[in-house]
Every structure is written in structure tokens, then in C-alpha cells.
Chain A
């Protein structure tokens, strides 16, 4: 498993993630009503909701892939609008359908992400370990477009895990994973949590909710409702 994954901080970090009145409206359609959300370091929160309830929109707005209509996002105290680059150094996102460059092999994708995040030091050992853990070592020099759907999802996960992060956002990470892959992911997330990373993931998988969630959030038609804390996280 990957070792050191947290970002070193010079100042005390109040919250890994804080959103204040975060909302999104698409041409007259309110996809997300104002959301106030806080996640502490070392906390794992599962986002639950039916298809179309706004889970992906919330994650996209938190990571500013889609600029929110109203509200504020703070990652480790850094405002995404005012101090975006500093906030992004702490944030990693794993999409539900990862996309890759046609011309880059899996290994080169990992190297590119590590290099862009200024974390090439110790990259080779880290990448080798992750690729071996997730069963992609033998196909590391293949182009991801030749991978199966599950393998592509695994590589997408590795792109989120190869770099240090204090806040990890995952959108339906187990949707195309086999049992072994899900098990590995759970182990990896537990390690990240223990290292102090905050994790917010959307999932329909009851295993993830029951086994590792500290809290479960319910999204219904764009409204966020806090569910009762689970016991699985201990």
C-alpha cells in the first residue's frame, strides 16, 4: 500500500472541507440547493442518494470543475475561489468515469500526475506498489484505452492516490470494481483515513457505507440531509 499520503502543513488546519451555501442552478433547473457541509481531517463521509439526486454535481462544485452558482468552498482553510492553487494542492478527485490521454501509458499517466503535483520524489516505489496492489503492474505500459472498464476505473483511482492529498473526493468508486478491487479500495481508504486524510465519496455500495463510513449524508433532489452516524468506521 502507499505510504505517506498527507500534505505537510505549517499551520493548524481547522477543517479539511467546508462549504457554505454551495448551490448550483443549470438554466432554470436547481440541481443543488444551498449546502453547508464540514468534514474534519481523518473523517470518511459517504454521500448517498438516488440517480440524479445531485451527488456528482455536489462533488463537481466542491472541486470547482463546475463553478457553483452561489456559495463558498474551503479546502484545508483555503478558499477555492480566492486561493485556488493552494486549495488544489490538498484536493484529489476520482471521477466515476475516468478519462485518459490516448497517447500516454498507465505508468506515464501516474508519472504525469505526480510531476504536476510536484511529488516525483519516491514516485517509482509508490507507483509500483499501487500498480501491484491493484493488479495493473503487468499492463503498466499499455494505453488505458485498451483496458477493460474495471481496469480503467482502477487506474482512475490510482491517479487520485498517487499524489499526496488532505481531502479525497471519490465519485462512485466501486461501480465497476470486482470484489477484490473493492476490498483493496476499502483497505487503501482506511490507510488514508489513518494518515489523517478526509474522504468524501458517493456510493450506492452498502459495503462501503456499513464498513467504513463515519457519517452518511443523504441527497434528495438537490437537498442535503445529514443521516445518523454509522458504526462501521471504528
Chain B
């Protein structure tokens, strides 16, 4: 009778874990329900295949990482390795602290909200049955990094010509780091969960964040104690003992410290014990319904992410960012098609956040770096990446207008006009930033290309029109009337890249002074082609009469 709540919670959680596992296995076409011999052989094949595949990938990364070791020579490889391990521990720790403090570490789906949160289960039973899956998910990347660090140390320790004779030792170097790091990772994970539960219980008070703050300080101090003596060699004498203990411990992961494997592992296990004690204390007053309230959106996002529903995630995040409501003092008397500019500016302003700032910043860097690399394949790759980055954001407003087909279409404004307005509004800031980058490059970089001053704005306009026309092409009025919008596809992206790239390639024509005229002509021609193509797709979608070129710009 006493175990009944534990069994019920275990049953619920187990069902979710099995369903999640089945999802990942389905990705590699393995069905755990199938009890045939061939299926067992297939599982064996999968295990062997992925072990070899991961091993080869990690070895490749380890060899690439060796370059970093060479950079900091004459620092010994063991010191660099231990330093990198400390950075890994600290990064994972900081990430987990932020994640668990911001909202409840236990994420409950809607199903749990009804089945679990309303039942009088002891809180500790839930907490102690919930940490395993998130820990394993977090552990996966951590173990891979540890294996890679071990292999890198192996690469640095053995002569490259005789590597095959050291194969088993090489593998052991990787496994040793991963194995020893395991209890330490678990201790960090459980401690951050304890801090998260404490924060959940005292949400709204300063006290709630004290343990997390303490853990952040601990992680930073640990990093400082390792980095400071390695690079600058200066440390107060009172901290020398602590620093030497820490670096000795980290070196032990690579078989270089003064602690044996057994001692290091035991120390890790002691920390695990201590962290579970903290979790036991922190979970006493854990409120599942409070956690469910906080994690409702996180659970939904995780569900959408699993099935690649990026648009749904974007909408949900946008709703979260917008909150309940807003009022704006920006109410100009813009009527008819100008109303779309007012609406578009409001939409852009309210969606403006860190992601947009980042995108604009990257656009600025792209333009400067294209000037630095010059008109060559490296610069062209930069251009391709830039268009890739802008692909979604440039057509976001137009996509939203299309999704509201029954609202936008009934307005007495030609669809081509509002579609153009919705394309230009998100393009404008990118254009401004790109021009700032170009002017800056021309003023300060001796290698800057002045032709980019014309080809970038023309190319960006053409690219936006190509992306827009592909978005319109992929949609049908029958589906739009039901609110279903398809996003732009590969064709639009390829054409957008083509529009930015072709004028640059034309500059390579070995005819000085004539080549820039050809470049300019190509850029203008591409703009005209993109523009007429965009109008044609709008006409196909709306079955509207053909608008004249001039009528689109008249008030």
C-alpha cells in the first residue's frame, strides 16, 4: 500500500520515457515491439554502426582540436586538457543553473497536468522519479565532449606514426575521462535541480535566487582558479592550496594528477551523495501544479520541436514575447495602401528583439567581411550564408498577411500593393545596416569593393522579391481561406542567392571598366525579372487584373 504512489508515478513517467525512446528509435527505423531475430540483429548492427561512426567523428574532431594545443605551446597538453575540461564543467553548470532557475526544472506536459498534478502524490516521489531522463539527455553531449578531450590528449601524447599500436590505450584515454566525469556531471545536474526547486518554492522573492547565485559564483571561481595560474601565474597564497587541489583533480581525469582513478571516482560519488541530500531537502515542498503552470509553454515547445514544427514554435514564442496587450502612440492618418505600412511598422517594432538585433549585427558583419575577403569564392560563400540567414525573416510579414487571407483580401487594395509593402518593411532595416557596413568598409578598409554599394541594395531587393514570389507561388487561395500557409521553399532560396551572387561573378570578367557596367546591368535586369515574376505570382493567386508598373507606386 505504501508503495502505491511511487508505482503510479513510476508508471506514468515510464510510459512517457518509453514513448520518447520509441520516437528516437523510430528515426533509425527500429521498432522495439518487434520480437523477431532479424530485428535483434538489426539492433546489434545499429549499435556497432553508431559506435564506429561516433568514434570516427570524435577522432576527426580530436585531430582538429589538436591545433588549439599547438597554439598554446609550450603549455603541457595535460594542462590544456584539464583547462578545457574545467571550461566544459563550468559551461554545462552555468547553462543548467540558468535553465533551472528561470523556470521549474521539472517540465510537465498537458497530460501530466491532468493525471499527475491533481493527485496527492508525495512531492519527493515525483522529483526522484523525474530527473533521470533530463539527466541522460544532458549527459549525451557532455560525454561526447569528454571522449573528444580524452582522444585529443591521446593525439598529443602518442607519436602520430605509431598511433595504431597505441589504439587500445588511445580509446582508454577517452573512456577514462568520460567515466570519471560521469559522477561529477550528475552531481552538478542534481545540485542545479535543487537550486531550481528552491527558486520555484520562493519565486518572487530575492531569496529564491540566492542558491543559484552561489552556484554561479562557484563556477566562475573554479574557472578563475584554473585559468589564472595557467595563463598569468598570479594567485593569492591563501588560494594556492585550493587551486592546486582543483588542478590536480582535473589532471587525474587524464591520468596525470596525484589522485588515482578510484580516488577521483570516489570523490565524484561523494559529491553525488551530497547533491542528492540537497535535492531531498529542496523537494520537500515541491508543488507540481506550480511547476506545470510555469512549464506549460516549455512542454509545448519541446513537443513541437520533436516533430520539427518550427512555425508553431515561432508563433508560441512570439505570443509569449508580446504578452497580454499593448497600446501605441504611433497612429498616423495613413489610409488605403499606406495603412499596410502603418500595420507593418507596428508588427516589426513589436517583434523586434534580441534575435532581430543579432540578425542585423550579423548582416553588418557579413558586408564588412565580404569586403575583407574580396570578390572570390570565400566571399561568395559569405553571401550565400547571408541570404540563408535572411530567408525566413524577410517573408515573415507577407506570410502573416497571407495567413489572414479573408481579412487582407477583402480590402479594396490591390494585393500586389500590400504584398510589396509587407516585403519592403522587414527588408528596409537590413538594407540600412548593409549600407552602413559598406560605407564603413569604403572609408576604413583599403580593399573595399565600391561596386557593392550598388549591387548589394539591388541584389537584396531582388532576393526579397524572389523569396516573396516563391512564397506566393507555393500557396493556393483554397488553403489560404482556411488559414493554412506554406512557407517559401528551396527554389526561392536558390533564386535569391542567384540574384546576389551573379553580379559579383560578373565582376570577374577580365574587361576592366566594362565589367562593372555589365555587373550593374545584370543587377538591374535581375531586379526587373524578380519584380515582374512577383507580380505574376500575385496575379495567379488572386486572379486580379494586371496592374500597371506605375499604378503600384501611385498613392
Judging by beta carbons under 8 Å apart, are B545 and A84 in contact? yes
What are the residues of chain A within 8 A of B346 when measuring CB–CB?
103-104, 108
Q: A112-B339, A143-B325 are in contact. Are A65 and B477 (CB under 8 A)?
A: yes
Judging by beta carbons under 8 Å apart, are A102 and B325 in contact? no
A67 CB contact (under 8 Å) in B324, B327, B400, B477: B477
Q: A99-B483, A105-B327 are in contact. Are A115 and B334 (CB under 8 A)?
A: yes
Complexed CA–CA distance, A231 and B325 (Å)? 45
Judging by beta carbons under 8 Å apart, are B481 and A102 in contact? no
Q: A117-B411, A117-B412 are in contact. Are A111 and B331 (CB under 8 A)?
A: yes
Judging by beta carbons under 8 Å apart, are B414 and A85 in contact? yes
Judging by beta carbons under 8 Å apart, are B325 and A103 in contact? no
A116 CB contact (under 8 Å) in B315, B322, B411, B480: B411
Question: Which of B121-129, B288-296, B401-409 is found at the contact surface with chain A?
Answer: B401-409
Complexed CA–CA distance, A145 and B320 (Å)? 11
Judging by beta carbons under 8 Å apart, are B340 and A116 in contact? yes
Judging by beta carbons under 8 Å apart, are A101 and B400 in contact? yes
Judging by beta carbons under 8 Å apart, are A104 and B477 in contact? no
Chain A, Cβ-Cβ closest to B351: A103
Complexed CA–CA distance, A147 and B404 (Å)? 17
What are the residues of chain A within 8 A of B410 when measuring CB–CB?
63, 65, 88, 91-93
A105 CB contact (under 8 Å) in B319, B326, B351, B544: B326
Chain A, Cβ-Cβ closest to B328: A108
Complexed CA–CA distance, A26 and B481 (Å)? 14
What are the residues of chain A within 8 A of B406 when measuring CB–CB?
63, 65, 93, 95, 98-99
Judging by beta carbons under 8 Å apart, are B545 and A82 in contact? yes
Judging by beta carbons under 8 Å apart, are A102 and B319 in contact? yes
Which A residues between 172 and 213 are near B, CB-CB below 8 angstroms?
A: none
**Tally of chain B residues near chain A (CB < 8 A):** 46
CB A56 to nearest CB in B, in angstroms, measures 8
Judging by beta carbons under 8 Å apart, are B342 and A115 in contact? yes
Which B residues between 409 and 426 are near A, CB-CB below 8 angstroms?
A: 409-414
What are the residues of chain B within 8 A of A115 when measuring CB–CB?
333-336, 338-339, 342
What are the residues of chain A within 8 A of B543 when measuring CB–CB?
64, 67, 81
Which B residues between 302 and 361 are near A, CB-CB below 8 angstroms?
A: 315, 318-319, 322-328, 331, 333-340, 342-343, 346-347, 350-351
Q: Verify if B478 is at the interface (C-beta below 8 Å from A).
A: yes
What are the residues of chain B within 8 A of A91 when measuring CB–CB?
410
CB A98 to nearest CB in B, in angstroms, measures 8
What are the residues of chain A within 8 A of B319 when measuring CB–CB?
102, 143, 145
Which B residues between 145 and 164 are near A, CB-CB below 8 angstroms?
A: none
Judging by beta carbons under 8 Å apart, are A85 and B331 in contact? no
B343 CB contact (under 8 Å) in A89, A104, A118, A159: A104
Complexed CA–CA distance, A145 and B322 (Å)? 10
Judging by beta carbons under 8 Å apart, are A66 and B477 in contact? yes
Judging by beta carbons under 8 Å apart, are A141 and B411 in contact? no
Complexed CA–CA distance, A139 and B331 (Å)? 19
Chain A, Cβ-Cβ closest to B337: A116
Q: A99-B404, A101-B347 are in contact. Are A146 and B335 (CB under 8 A)?
A: no
What are the residues of chain A within 8 A of B331 when measuring CB–CB?
111
Judging by beta carbons under 8 Å apart, are A102 and B412 in contact? no
Which B residues between 499 and 555 are near A, CB-CB below 8 angstroms?
A: 542-545
What are the residues of chain B within 8 A of A103 when measuring CB–CB?
318, 322, 346-347, 350-351
Q: A65-B406, A84-B545 are in contact. Are A102 and B335 (CB under 8 A)?
A: no
Judging by beta carbons under 8 Å apart, are B413 and A142 in contact? no
Chain A, Cβ-Cβ closest to B414: A85
Q: Which of the listed residues B350, B400, B403, B412 has the most CB atoms from chain A within 10 Å of its own CB?
A: B412
Which B residues between 6 and 59 are near A, CB-CB below 8 angstroms?
A: none
Complexed CA–CA distance, A99 and B477 (Å)? 15
What are the residues of chain B within 8 A of A95 when measuring CB–CB?
406
B400 CB contact (under 8 Å) in A63, A102, A107, A145: A102
**Tally of chain A residues near chain B (CB < 8 A):** 44
Q: Which of the listed residues A65, A84, A85 has the most CB atoms from chain B within 10 Å of its own CB?
A: A65
Complexed CA–CA distance, A98 and B413 (Å)? 20
- What does the 1/0 interface line of A65-109 toward B look like (CB < 8 Å)? 111000000000000011011101101110101111111110110
Judging by beta carbons under 8 Å apart, are A159 and B327 in contact? no
What are the residues of chain A within 8 A of B544 when measuring CB–CB?
84
Complexed CA–CA distance, A67 and B350 (Å)? 34
Judging by beta carbons under 8 Å apart, are A104 and B347 in contact? yes
Q: A64-B409, A88-B411, A92-B410 are in contact. Are A105 and B325 (CB under 8 A)?
A: yes
What are the residues of chain A within 8 A of B413 when measuring CB–CB?
85, 116
Judging by beta carbons under 8 Å apart, are B325 and A139 in contact? yes
Q: Verify if A6 is at the interface (C-beta below 8 Å from B).
A: no
A118 CB contact (under 8 Å) in B336, B340, B351, B409: B336
What are the residues of chain A within 8 A of B404 when measuring CB–CB?
99-101
Complexed CA–CA distance, A27 and B342 (Å)? 39
Chain A, Cβ-Cβ closest to B348: A103
Q: Which of the listed residues A95, A103, A120 has the most CB atoms from chain B within 10 Å of its own CB?
A: A103
B322 CB contact (under 8 Å) in A89, A99, A102, A118: A102
Complexed CA–CA distance, A152 and B343 (Å)? 19
Q: A88-B412, A97-B483, A99-B406 are in contact. Are A143 and B322 (CB under 8 A)?
A: yes
Chain B, Cβ-Cβ closest to A112: B343
Q: Verify if A60 is at the interface (C-beta below 8 Å from B).
A: yes
Complexed CA–CA distance, A112 and B332 (Å)? 11
What are the residues of chain B within 8 A of A67 when measuring CB–CB?
477, 542-543
Judging by beta carbons under 8 Å apart, are B405 and A65 in contact? yes
Complexed CA–CA distance, A88 and B409 (Å)? 9
CB B480 to nearest CB in A, in angstroms, measures 8
What are the residues of chain A within 8 A of B545 when measuring CB–CB?
81-82, 84
Chain A, Cβ-Cβ closest to B476: A66
Q: Which 4 A-B pairs have the closest CB atoms?
A: A142-B325, A115-B339, A88-B412, A103-B350
Instruction: With A108-B346, A143-B324 given, name 5 new contacts (CB 8 A).
Output: A64-B409, A84-B545, A103-B346, A116-B411, A116-B413
Give A residues with C-beta under 8 Å from B. 26, 60, 63-67, 81-82, 84-86, 88-89, 91-93, 95, 97-105, 107-108, 111-113, 115-118, 120, 139, 141-143, 145-146, 159
Would you mind naming 22 contact pairs between A and B with Cβ atoms under 8 Å apart?
A: A60-B481, A64-B409, A64-B543, A65-B406, A65-B477, A65-B480, A84-B545, A85-B413, A88-B411, A89-B412, A97-B483, A98-B406, A102-B318, A107-B327, A111-B331, A112-B343, A115-B335, A115-B336, A115-B342, A116-B336, A116-B337, A118-B335
